[in-house]
Amino acid sequence: MSLRSIPESFSLAAVAAIDARLDAICAEHGVAMPLAIESGSRAWGFPSPDSDYDCRFVFVRPVDQHLSPWPRRDVIETPLDAVLDVNGWELGKAIKLLIKGNAVIIEWLRSPLVYRGEAWFRDAFLEFAGRFADRHLIARHYLHLGERQRRVHFGDGKIVPQKKIFYALRPAATLRWLRLHPDQGVAPMHFPTLMAECEPPTDVDALTADLIARKAVTHELGAEPLPPVIAAFIDEEFAIARPRYEGATSIVSATARNEAELFYRDITRRCF
């Protein structure tokens, strides 16, 4: 079954431009593209009226392109402009980063906004991720991401654009979700869904919902210090996660490596 899920709120011109770029990539590079999704604030569920379009895709090279003494790049990038940001990863890169604890490909697989894709590919990759994505490494990814955002943007008393709150709040909420779902490692990408499933304190939930609602209708939320309620929530989740995940090490087991090779070959054969 082919996948496509584009909301009516999307610009028809932007979607047409993205489709054209994806078609051109497949034709120019001779690759298959079993998944192309929206990955930015639109997919997270807190866009602004002027949010750009962040299309990300996974591509698969045919066997003949691997039979060369000169390996090809594992990324394909297109020119960045004021509206479109379109680039993607080769399947092997996505697999290797996943089993080393990078959560980005998991977010792509969980994106609710799909430009094109095959259901069998997404389902197979999510199943693979469920088996071989180390939740401790995934949690460490969000801990480091969130702490960096907290440190860079939200020094005590610093005046910052309110839209940047989500940069630290989303990793904190994901860490809370992982803590409350100890038998799962693939958290929702859609931020309102993530917040609902991580059951935050009532005051945090209310303030977050208000920020999302205001961000949806205005180009600028204004700048002020990080609200104390949000700051306390973020800092508490990071403090809980730090001793649990800070020391997690990325060691790829022989089983994971062998299964990754089998998965890679199977996907390549199915695409071509």
Output the domain CATH number for residue 59: 3.30.460
36 and 86, same structural domain?
yes
Residue 160 region by backbone torsions, left for phi larger than 0, else alpha for psi between -120 and 50, else beta: beta
Rounded CA-CA distance 133/256 in Å is 9
Predicted confidence at residue 69, as pLDDT, reads 92
Residues 6+ apart with CB under 8 A from 194: 170, 173, 174, 177, 187, 188
Rounded CA-CA distance 224/162 in Å is 7
Side chain identity at residue 206, one-letter code? A
240 and 219, same structural domain?
yes
Q: Report residue 211's pLDDT band, with 50, 70 and 90 as the boundaries.
A: confident
Q: Report residue 161's pLDDT band, with 50, 70 and 90 as the boundaries.
A: confident
Burial of 268 (0-12, 13-18, 19+ CB in 10 A): middle
126 and 140, same structural domain?
no
168 and 123, same structural domain?
no
Q: Of residues 8 and 253, which shows the higher confidence score?
A: 8
Rounded CA-CA distance 171/185 in Å is 14
Which has the minimum average pLDDT: 6-20, 94-108, 156-170, 174-188?
Answer: 156-170
154 and 111, same structural domain?
no
Rounded CA-CA distance 81/63 in Å is 33
Average pLDDT score over residue span 197-218: 90
Which has the minimum average pLDDT: 44-53, 99-108, 112-121?
Answer: 44-53
Whether 101 and 138 have beta carbons less than 8 Å apart is answered as: yes
Which has the minimum average pLDDT: 76-85, 178-187, 194-203?
Answer: 178-187
Q: How many domains does the chain have?
A: 2
49 lies in which domain range?
2-132+252-271
Whether 10 and 4 have beta carbons less than 8 Å apart is answered as: no
Residues 6+ apart with CB under 8 A from 156: none
**Is pLDDT of 26 > 80?**
yes
Average pLDDT score over residue span 164-183: 93
Average pLDDT score over residue span 54-83: 95
200 and 174, same structural domain?
yes
Report the first-to-last Cα separation within the chain, whole angstroms. Answer: 17
113 and 33, same structural domain?
yes
41 and 116, same structural domain?
yes
Predicted confidence at residue 249, as pLDDT, reads 79
Q: Report residue 221's pLDDT band, with 50, 70 and 90 as the boundaries.
A: low
93 and 189, same structural domain?
no
Q: Report residue 220's pLDDT band, with 50, 70 and 90 as the boundaries.
A: low
220 and 90, same structural domain?
no
55 and 10, same structural domain?
yes
164 and 93, same structural domain?
no
